[in-house]
Amino acid sequence: MNRALWLWGILFALWLLLSGHFETLFIVFGLVTCTVAVWVSVRMGVVDRESMPVHLLGRAVAYVPWLVWEVFKSNVRVARIILSPRMRLDPSIVHFRASQATDLGRFIYANSITLTPGTVTTGVTGDDMEVHAIVQSEIDGSEENDMNRRVAVLEGKDPK
H, E, C per residue of 105-137: HHHHHHHHHHHCCCEEEEEEECCEEEEEECEHH
Distance CA 159, CA 149 (A): 8
Write down the least CB distance from residue 43 to another protein, Å.
18
CA distances from 142 to 91, 125, 145, 147, 152 (A): 19, 22, 5, 9, 15
Q: Does 53 bind another protein (CB under 8 A)?
A: no
Write down the least CB distance from residue 35 to another protein, Å.
22
Q: Does 115 bind another protein (CB under 8 A)?
A: yes
State which of positions 121-160 bind another protein (CB under 8 A).
121-123, 132, 134
Q: Does 75 bind another protein (CB under 8 A)?
A: yes
Q: Does 65 bind another protein (CB under 8 A)?
A: no
Candidate list 36, 46, 87, 101; residue touching another protein; CB under 8 A: 87
Write down the least CB distance from residue 114 to another protein, Å.
4
CA distances from 135 to 24, 74, 117 (A): 58, 11, 11
To 5 degrees, how large is the angle CA 45–CA 155–CA 77? 115
* Number of amino acids touching another protein (CB under 8 A): 32
Q: Does 118 bind another protein (CB under 8 A)?
A: yes
Candidate list 92, 97, 101, 128; residue touching another protein; CB under 8 A: 92
